[in-house]
Amino acid sequence: MRASLFITCYNDTLYPETGRAVVRLLERLGVELEFHPQQTCCGQMHANTGFRVEAFSQARRFVGLYRNTETVVIPSSSCVAMIRDQYPGLFDELGNEAQRSEFAALLPRIYELSEFLIDRLGVEDVGAYFPHRVTYHASCHSLRGLHVGDRPLRLLNKVRGLELVPLENMDRCCGFGGTFSIKNADVSSAMLTAKLQDVLATRAEYCTALDNSCLMHLGGAMHRQFAAMRTIHLAQILCATEGAPPEETV
């Protein structure tokens, strides 16, 4: 099985260890991975901030890069939601017929990581070992955009040594919202505090999710407050084995 990894602009820049975990995990599962060196961004930040023309130029570029690719895997549910929910409107409004059909052909070949593991590879037990107390936050895009349902939990439940602690108000938004965290910083911070109360109350060692965007927001506050908890992307948990625990990140 071959797949092409779209790492996402922010993972590439800020969380390369998540990318490394995806690579090691998928290669361990027998996937031959490619990485298109021309990739940059899916356009979500621009689309969500009202810059549609700019978002479309990035969308067009994305489709152009992957139009002949069999399968694209993306370790970020918000980017996949951008492609599934917003690309159609952008291409309808700003694209031409040829671009629209190119996109339509590509769309079914795009997978978020947990979708790829469960739906394409058909695995729930990826042979992971992560002996820690972990709580899972359901990011809004994965929950309501992609309807990933219980896929991430099914994957986590098969991780040996992992103690999964339920998160109260698991489906409530953490308050990141992309540029919302800057444009409405105070409200975003209030939402963050409320969410953090629920997360910290689990007394878990790690909070995980499908999106480093949420985790950057939650983890940034944990670090600021010297909380006894860290964030970690799901890929890094699934990549971890007895012989190879997750990378020590700062």
Partner 1 sequence: MSGTLTGHPVLDPRHAPPFPIAALPVLRNPQLRKNVAHATNVIQTKRARLVAEKTDWQELRTAAAAIRSHVLEDLGSYLEEFEVRCTAAGGKVHWASDAVEARAIIIEVLRQEQANEVIKIKTMTSAEIQLNPALEAAGIHAYETDLAELILQLGEGEPSHFVVPALHVNRSQVREIFARRMGLKDLPDDPKALTAAARTYLRQKFLTIPTAIGGANFLIAETGSVAVVESEGNGRMCLTLPRTLITLAGIEKVLPRFQDLEVMLQLLARSATGERMSPYTSLWTGVTPGDGPQRFHVVLLDNGRSSILARPVERQTLRCIRCAACLNTCPVYRQTGGHAYGSVYPGPIGAILTPQLMHMEFAQSLPFASSLCGACYEVCPVKINIPQVLLELRSQVVNQERRQPARFGDLMFLGMKTANAIFAGARRFRAAQWLGRIALRPFTRKDGWIHSLPSLGAKWTQTRDLRGLPSQSFRQWWVARGKEER
Nearer to partner 1, 158 or 205 (CB): 205
Q: 3-state DSSP: the chain helix, strand, coil percent, rounded to 5?
A: 55, 10, 35
Radius of gyration of the chain (CA): 18
For residue 109, count other CB atoms closer than 10 A to its CB.
16
Would you tell me which residues interact with partner 1 (CB under 8 A)?
Answer: 7, 9, 11-17, 19-20, 23, 35, 37-41, 43, 45-52, 54, 57-58, 61, 86, 89, 140, 144-145, 171-173, 175-194, 216-217, 219-221, 223-224, 249-250
Nearer to partner 1, 35 or 163 (CB): 35
Question: How long, in residues, is the chain?
Answer: 250
Nearer to partner 1, 189 or 241 (CB): 189
Asked if 232 and 162 touch (Cβ cutoff 8 Å), the reply is no
How far apart are the C-alpha atoms of 226 and 81, rounded to whole Å?
33
Nearer to partner 1, 129 or 180 (CB): 180
Closest CA to 1 of 83, 102, 92, 119: 119
Supply the minimum distance, in Å, between the C-beta of residue 115 and partner 1.
18
Which neighbouring-strand residues pair with 112?
Answer: 74
How far apart are the C-alpha atoms of 95 and 113, rounded to whole Å?
28
Measured over the CA atoms of residue 165, residue 149, residue 231 and residue 49, the dihedral's sign is negative
SS (H, E, C) 153-186: HHHHHCCECCEEECCCCCCCCCCCCCCHHHHCHH
Supply the minimum distance, in Å, between the C-beta of residue 40 and partner 1.
4
Measured over the CA atoms of residue 145, residue 146, residue 147 and residue 148, the dihedral's sign is negative
Supply the minimum distance, in Å, between the C-beta of residue 16 and partner 1.
4
